[in-house]
């Protein structure tokens, strides 16, 4: 006979999840983790930390901790009565919780969109009409309830050329930088980007609006048969544009084009400029989390005033006090300082500067456009380059060059000057303006160069370039043959 | 005299008075003449006037407040920090030794600003907003409060090591110093919160979004979290007075990186305003 004895079952240990989530250690850890994530996200934007699921999980964990803390604080307030400190702490934490929840609402349901409109253009009331959509995870794309026409753009600049005022007249009302427009479907904002739009037509092919950049006032329009036109305006609302048409590395046309004018090319193609209206960039936004976040900010502010300004900070009761190694909780600070101070090495920086300089100058030779070199050269080297490019244009030629290899040999850096010695290999050929054909033989050359960079504001500009050793040049002759017709057509228009 | 020469002269006049103020504070404290602390206060106050006049001349010349170039930003930050210091020491003269730390730091700030590019920059349309005034003003107040907390933390570190001296002996004990370090941190925390809030409202008005993880926005949040971490650590853990002092100094370093260094380093919406 078997006697079964029933022992009382020992209940499983209660899961103290709530206690864990409101424990000071976890809360301090959460704050440190969020600060560390913020620092890493700001230092290394390419990691897209703020879009990572674990960043969302961390924020959720903080929100849950905060909700428990706020619940506890409200319970204490109701049970034990209100004191300024208790009210302050509850307001501060409730405000934080509200701000985080508003942020979550924004991440899930807010939508932003962007579109560039040309004067006279009508934006249809569809989501597809917007060129860029940035919806939240569960948000509908942005769209307005009614079509919208951009009637006029008004820009005003200071005497130094920087933007002073920008406004746009829309069919639904006026919009300006810092003055939004509320419409059915969302709010509209005007960005500071605007400029001339060259309405061009390529034959055979297409019509397009080439939007000239608001700072450089330049744009490129791609045409048929590998043609491309580089356009430049000299003012915000221009009456004409400078045009350089290229096929591959050959310059086919350089001149000024007014609305209504057409340029024809040897292959039967043609480019017509129809008009030069202005364009402006509109942003659309639909976000219902703004007022909740404002309420959150107000609570945080009021709470922190009550907590930190009205009363000096007290310690928590000793029963709540675990030990802490303060130095251990702030390693991210040191990490941030180390990351920032390390930066990139001088050699990489020198190679970047030399590469950028050569890319810009090569393109200036190719297009026969000396204005392109302004961002990379100082006045000394600028004059020299302008002369060299101009001489080639006089002979009806452009230079097509390609850097094949670059090695930085030596860097000598002073406060505002950097001397960089390089070893370089290049391939060159001259091309005739008008046809783009190669003129003369191609050459592969090797050089040892010395670049003298001087700092101007934040930029390093090339002040002087010398050969550090005699060059090894591949070709033996050069074709400085002037095509007089091309010279008459081009030189007078293109030289600065 | 043109406007630039006038504002430079006024700036240097301010610096001269500040240096005289430091000398008088040092004299009063080293040679134990507590009543002469007032001389230092008057000299520093006399420096604030030409300094303020220089900022006004600048405002008239460029047509906007001091928030576009290092030259303007550093000078106005120093003015606010010195004004806060004076206000505090006026009410509590026993804290006069703080002036020997905060005043030289402010003089360095003005001096550094004077040697940067003073070229006037026009105000872009996005910066024409009332919220910008709040954003910048509270940011400067926060930096001033954090500077005072760092000065107080430095004194606290010296005193907690048992260092003595005529100046140090005049200051309160480590307990009171710690409380005041936290008090300054608390004030700075409130001002910093206002800075972030005003910036968010302004960003919503100008760009249609109140938060966009711009590098400087992110760093301002990191600074806020660092101070929140310090306050929580002090509240909940057995953090020593030295721990509080080191924490305040580390947080101050982060705040200075955020306000004065990172805008020059990272491409950011804020970067263009300081360069």
Residues A362 and A472 in one domain: yes
Classify residue A3: in a domain, yes or no. no
Q: What is the pLDDT of residue B1?
A: 64
Per-residue pLDDT tens digits for B202-241: 888 888 889 988 889 999 999 999 999 998 888 888 788 9
Residues of chain A neighbouring B177 (CB-CB closer than 8 A)? none
- Hey, which residues 234-263 in chain B have their CB within 8 Å of chain A? 234-239, 243, 246-247, 250, 253-254, 257, 261-262
Question: B226–A158: do the CB atoms touch at under 8 Å?
Answer: no
Question: What is the CB-side half-sphere exposure of residue A73 using CA atoms within 13 A?
Answer: 21
- Hey, which residues 140-199 in chain A have their CB within 8 Å of chain B? 158, 160, 162-166, 176-178, 180, 187, 189, 191-192
Per-residue pLDDT tens digits for A24-41: 888 889 999 999 999 999
Residues A24 and A131 in one domain: no
Residues 6+ apart with CB under 8 A from B273: B67, B68, B127, B263
Q: Which of A297, A305, A337 sits opposite B197 (nearest CB)?
A: A297
Work out the average pLDDT over B114-138. 84
Residues A378 and A483 in one domain: yes
Question: What is the CB-side half-sphere exposure of residue B154 using CA atoms within 13 A?
Answer: 14
Contact A274, A265 (CB under 8 A): no
At B128, is the pLDDT very low, low, confident or very high (cuts 50, 70, 90)?
confident
Buried b (16+ CB within 10 A) or exposed e, B170-208: bbbebeebbbbbbbbbbbbbbbbbbbbbbbbbbbbbbbb
If we measure between CA atoms, which residue out of B9, B47, B10 comes closest to residue B25? Answer: B47
Classify residue A27: in a domain, yes or no. yes
Classify residue A1: in a domain, yes or no. no
Residues A464 and A337 in one domain: no
At B121, is the pLDDT very low, low, confident or very high (cuts 50, 70, 90)?
confident
If DSSP states are collapsed to H, E and C, what string results for A434-493?
A: CCCCEEEEEEEEEEEEEEEEEEECCEEEEEEEEEEEEEECCCCCCCCCCCHHHHHHHHHH
Classify residue A119: in a domain, yes or no. yes
Residues A358 and A228 in one domain: no
- Hey, which residues 84-143 in chain B have their CB within 8 Å of chain A? 117, 121-126, 128-129
- Output the CA–CA distances (angstroms, integers) from residue A402 to A245, A362, A473, B27, in the order listed: 20, 7, 14, 69
Q: Which of B117, B125, B193 sits opposite A301 (nearest CB)?
A: B193
Helix, strand or coil for residue A283?
A: strand
Asked if residue A119 has pLDDT above 80, the reply is yes
Residues 6+ apart with CB under 8 A from A472: A445, A446, A447
The pTM for the full model equals 0.73
The count of residues in chain B is 275
Question: B237–A163: do the CB atoms touch at under 8 Å?
Answer: no
Q: How far is A139 from chain B (nearest CA, A)?
A: 15
Per-residue pLDDT tens digits for B101-117: 889 988 998 888 888 87
Classify residue A40: in a domain, yes or no. yes
- Output the CA–CA distances (angstroms, integers) from residue A5 to A2, A9, A10, A363, B159, in the order listed: 9, 12, 15, 94, 70
φ/ψ of A249, rounded to 5, equals: -95, 5
Q: Does A309 touch chain B (CB under 8 A)?
A: yes
Q: Which CATH number do you get for residue A469?
A: 3.10.450.240
Question: A309–B187: do the CB atoms touch at under 8 Å?
Answer: yes
Contact A95, A71 (CB under 8 A): no
Residues A405 and A422 in one domain: yes
Q: Does A370 touch chain B (CB under 8 A)?
A: no
Residues A82 and A187 in one domain: no
**ipTM field:** 0.80
Work out the average pLDDT over A278-283. 94
Residues of chain B neighbouring A298 (CB-CB closer than 8 A)? 197
Residues A425 and A452 in one domain: yes
Residues of chain A neighbouring B123 (CB-CB closer than 8 A)? 164
Question: A327–B234: do the CB atoms touch at under 8 Å?
Answer: no
Residues A478 and A363 in one domain: yes
Q: What is the pLDDT of residue A335?
A: 40
Q: Does B271 touch chain A (CB under 8 A)?
A: no
Least confident among A75-79, A436-440, B152-156: A436-440
Q: Which of B121, B225, B234 sits opposite A313 (nearest CB)?
A: B234
Residues of chain B neighbouring A32 (CB-CB closer than 8 A)? 229
Work out the average pLDDT over B117-146. 86
Q: What is the pLDDT of residue A9?
A: 55
Cis peptide before A204 (omega within 30 of 0): yes
Task: Give the DSSP H or E segment for A167.
Answer: strand A163-170
Residue A178: count other Cβ atoms within 10 Å of its Cβ. Answer: 22
At B272, is the pLDDT very low, low, confident or very high (cuts 50, 70, 90)?
low
Question: A34–B225: do the CB atoms touch at under 8 Å?
Answer: yes
- Rounded to whole angstroms, the Cα distance separating B3 from B16 reads 20
Residues A126 and A181 in one domain: yes
Beta strands in A179-337, from DSSP E residues, in sequence order: 181-183, 186-203, 207-211, 218-222, 227-232, 241-247, 250-257, 262-264, 270-275, 278-286
Classify residue A10: in a domain, yes or no. no
Work out the average pLDDT over A426-451. 86
Query: Quick one: how far is CA A410 from the chain centroid?
Result: 32
Q: What is the pLDDT of residue A322?
A: 38
Q: Does A312 touch chain B (CB under 8 A)?
A: yes
Residues 6+ apart with CB under 8 A from A239: A258, A259, A276
- Hey, which residues 185-244 in chain B have their CB within 8 Å of chain A? 185-187, 189-190, 193-194, 196-197, 200-201, 204-211, 213, 215-216, 218-219, 221-222, 225-226, 228-229, 231-239, 243
- Rounded to whole angstroms, the Cα distance separating B198 from A294 reads 10
Question: A189–B208: do the CB atoms touch at under 8 Å?
Answer: yes
Per-residue pLDDT tens digits for B39-84: 999 999 999 999 999 999 999 888 888 878 888 888 998 999 899 9
Residues A48 and A98 in one domain: yes
Q: What is the pLDDT of residue A477?
A: 57
Classify residue A319: in a domain, yes or no. no
Per-residue pLDDT tens digits for A387-429: 888 888 888 888 888 888 888 888 888 878 889 999 999 988 8
- Rounded to whole angstroms, the Cα distance separating A394 from A480 reads 10
Name the residue range of residue A246's domain.
204-271
Residues A125 and A145 in one domain: yes
Count structural domains, chain A: 4
Classify residue A318: in a domain, yes or no. no
Please, what is the average pLDDT of chain B?
88
Best of B70, B127, B218, B272 to disrupt the A interface (most A CBs within 10 Å) is B218
């Amino acid at each position: 006979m078997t006697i079964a004895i029933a022992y009382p079952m020992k209940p499983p240990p209660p899961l103290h999840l709530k206690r864990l989530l409101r424990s000071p250690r976890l809360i301090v850890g959460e704050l440190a983790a969020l600060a560390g994530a913020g620092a890493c996200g700001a230092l290394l934007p390419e990691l897209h930390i703020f879009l990572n699921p674990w960043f969302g999980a961390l924020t959720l964990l903080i929100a849950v901790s905060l909700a428990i803390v706020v619940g506890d604080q409200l319970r204490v307030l109701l049970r034990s009565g209100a004191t300024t400190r208790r009210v302050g702490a509850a307001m501060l934490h409730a405000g934080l919780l509200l701000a985080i929840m508003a942020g979550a609402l924004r991440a899930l349901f807010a939508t932003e969109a962007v579109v560039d409109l040309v004067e006279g253009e009508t934006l249809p009331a569809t989501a597809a009409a917007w060129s860029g959509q940035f919806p939240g995870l569960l948000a509908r794309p942005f769209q307005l309830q009614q079509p919208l026409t951009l009637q006029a753009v008004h820009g005003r600049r200071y005497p130094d050329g920087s933007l002073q005022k920008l406004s746009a007249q829309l069919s639904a009302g006026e919009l300006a930088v810092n003055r939004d427009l509320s419409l059915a479907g969302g709010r509209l904002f005007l960005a500071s980007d605007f400029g001339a739009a060259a309405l061009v037509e390529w034959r055979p092919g297409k019509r397009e609006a080439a939007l000239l950049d608001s700072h450089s006032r330049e744009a490129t329009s791609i045409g048929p048969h590998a043609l491309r036109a580089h356009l430049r305006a000299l003012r915000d609302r221009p009456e004409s544009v400078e045009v350089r048409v290229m096929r591959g590395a050959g310059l086919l046309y350089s001149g000024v084009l007014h609305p209504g004018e057409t340029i024809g090319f040897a292959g039967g193609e043609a480019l017509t400029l129809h008009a030069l209206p202005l364009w402006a960039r509109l942003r659309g936004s639909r976000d219902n989390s703004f007022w909740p976040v404002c309420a959150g900010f107000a609570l945080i502010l009021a709470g922190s005033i009550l907590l930190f300004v009205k009363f000096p900070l007290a310690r928590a009761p000793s029963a709540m006090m675990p030990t802490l190694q303060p130095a251990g909780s702030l390693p991210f600070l040191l990490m941030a300082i180390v990351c920032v101070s390390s930066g990139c090495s001088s050699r990489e920086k020198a190679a970047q500067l030399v590469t950028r300089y050569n890319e810009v100058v090569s393109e200036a030779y190719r297009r026969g456009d000396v204005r392109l070199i302004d961002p990379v050269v100082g006045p000394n080297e600028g004059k020299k380059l302008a002369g060299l490019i101009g001489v080639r244009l006089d002979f009806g030629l452009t230079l097509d060059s390609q850097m094949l290899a670059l090695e930085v040999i030596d860097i000598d850096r002073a406060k505002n000057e950097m001397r960089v010695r390089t070893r370089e290999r290049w391939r060159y050929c001259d091309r005739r303006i008008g046809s783009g054909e190669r003129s003369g033989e191609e050459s592969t050359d090797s050089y040892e160069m010395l670049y003298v960079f001087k700092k101007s504001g934040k930029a390093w500009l090339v002040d002087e370039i010398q050969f550090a050793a005699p060059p090894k040049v591949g070709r033996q002759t050069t074709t400085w043959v002037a095509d007089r017709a091309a010279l008459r057509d081009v030189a007078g228009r293109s030289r600065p | 005299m043109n406007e630039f020469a006038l504002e430079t002269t006024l700036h240097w006049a301010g610096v001269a008075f500040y240096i005289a103020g430091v000398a008088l504070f040092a004299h009063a404290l080293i040679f134990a003449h507590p009543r002469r602390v007032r001389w230092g206060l008057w000299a520093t106050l006399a420096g604030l006037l030409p300094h303020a006049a220089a900022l006004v001349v600048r405002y008239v010349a460029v047509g906007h407040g001091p928030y576009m170039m290092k030259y303007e930003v550093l000078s106005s930050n120093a003015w606010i920090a010195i004004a806060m210091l004076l206000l505090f020491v006026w009410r509590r003269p026993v804290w006069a030794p703080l002036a020997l730390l905060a005043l030289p730091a402010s003089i360095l700030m003005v001096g550094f600003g004077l040697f940067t590019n003073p070229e006037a920059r026009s105000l872009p349309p996005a910066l024409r907003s009332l919220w910008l005034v709040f954003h910048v003003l509270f940011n400067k107040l926060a930096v001033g409060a954090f500077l005072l907390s760092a000065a107080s933390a430095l004194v606290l570190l010296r005193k907690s090591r048992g260092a003595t001296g005529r100046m140090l002996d005049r200051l309160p004990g480590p307990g009171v110093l710690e409380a005041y370090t936290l008090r300054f941190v608390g004030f700075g925390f409130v001002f910093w919160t206002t800075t972030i809030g005003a910036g968010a409202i302004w960003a919503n008005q100008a760009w249609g979004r109140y938060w966009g993880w711009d590098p400087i926005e992110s760093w301002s949040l990191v600074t806020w979290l660092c101070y929140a971490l310090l306050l929580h650590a002090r509240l909940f853990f057995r953090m020593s007075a030295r721990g509080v002092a080191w924490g305040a100094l580390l947080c101050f370093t982060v705040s200075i990186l955020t306000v004065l260094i990172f805008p020059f380093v990272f491409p950011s919406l804020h970067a263009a305003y300081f360069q």
